[in-house]
Structure 1
Amino acid sequence: MPILNLTDLAAACPPGTPWMGLDLGEKTIGVAVSDTSRMIASPLELVRKSKFTAEAETLFRLMDGRKISALIIGLPMNMDGTEGPRAQSCRAFARNLDRLRPTSVAFWDERLSTSAVERFLIDELDLSRKRRAGVVDRTAAAWILQGALDRVRDQETWV
């Protein structure tokens, strides 16, 4: 699994194939997917964390079913731009996934993504705490993926 920057990732993926975004939480993995044109990210599923191999099998099943060509994994950076233990855990997750099946991966700085999503769910949709709990991680995954898709599209227009 090559870890690529977004520009190289876009060039390495076949056209017309969607990407998958992951928000790796402590108890769950939020999953989002893009459309085949890689314009819009949509929340897909919430995977409960258990054993790594079970999580990986679920992700591979989702990837195969949608013909996913790459993963965008949220990287929880510290506010000063350094990587802490959670970011290192995300990198380890990607390495472990690669041991089972090589997949093209890029990381996306997810600082404040969960906070932004929670604010949106409260302010715009007026969701209760209970309703937010079931939606926030997969919506955060869509937020992460959309940020990466927008960056790739912005870079393509400036080249």
Structure 2
Amino acid sequence: MSSNVVDLEAFVALPDHARLLGLDLGTKTIGLALSDLERQIATPLETIKRVKFSLDAVALLKVADKYAVAGLVIGLPLNMDGTEGPRVQSTRAFVRNLVPLTSLPIVFWDERMSTLAVTRTLLDADASRAKRAAVVDKMAAAYILQGALDRLMRMEPDEPSLG
């Protein structure tokens, strides 16, 4: 695809104290989540209502700029058996169109079960249908981003000893 679509390993080399932005790309909305500066905790941020790609990209990149984001983690909606269906093709097309507009590194993260897990959590919390609809996308983005952050933390090189 492009040089800024990378494997998660490339994120280990990102500057310290730089946030990551997680995305849950839906057909009608884009859920966004933001990491803390230490890249340990993902927090639901906002939901962008999709209009058309150019406007969606401007809104997304404006958020990335506002929070000085160092990289994007985009949920890849694989089928349960790991195959790629129409939603994966749509996500890859979105990223293909986004790449020329940003130099930010972009990583795909397997998002299977993210919306289901978040919906179950909201049901357990007895959230109303309207409340679930309002927050599920950004919470799914946080779930996706947290998975990548957890994996990234296990990949981090150990701190050098001062001995």
* TM-score range for the pair, normalised by the shorter chain length: over 0.9
- Asked if structure 2 preserves the Cα contact closer than 8 Å seen for 1:30 and 1:141, the reply is yes
Q: CA RMSD in A?
A: 1.5
Give the superposition deviation at 1:106: 0.5
1:48-76 alpha-carbon deviations (Å, 9 max, x no partner)? 01011111111111111100010000000
| Residue 131 (structure 2) pairs with residue 131 (structure 1) | yes
Aligned to 1:86: 87
Q: What is the total number of aligned residue pairs between the two structures?
A: 157
Give the superposition deviation at 1:157: 6.5
What TM-score comes out, normalization by structure 2 length?
A: 0.92
- Asked if structure 2 preserves the Cα contact closer than 8 Å seen for 1:9 and 1:105, the reply is no
- Letter paired with 2:55: A
1-structure distance, mates of 2:54, 2:75: 20
Aligned to 1:156: 156
- Asked if structure 1 preserves the Cα contact closer than 8 Å seen for 2:12 and 2:155, the reply is no
2-structure distance, mates of 1:87, 1:10: 25
Partner of 2:32: helix, strand, or coil?
strand
Identity of counterpart residues, as a percentage?
Answer: 52
Aligned to 1:22: 23
1:93-131 alpha-carbon deviations (Å, 9 max, x no partner)? 1111112222200010000100000000111x2101111
2-structure distance, mates of 1:54, 1:16: 29
Aligned to 1:60: 61
Partner of 2:72: helix, strand, or coil?
strand
Unpaired stretches in structure 1, ≥5 consecutive residues: none
Moved runs in structure 1, 4+ residues, more than 2 A? 155-158
What TM-score comes out, normalization by structure 1 length?
A: 0.94
Aligned to 2:161: none
1:21-73 alpha-carbon deviations (Å, 9 max, x no partner)? 00000100000000110010000010001011111111111111100010000
2-structure distance, mates of 1:153, 1:67: 20
1-structure distance, mates of 2:76, 2:84: 8
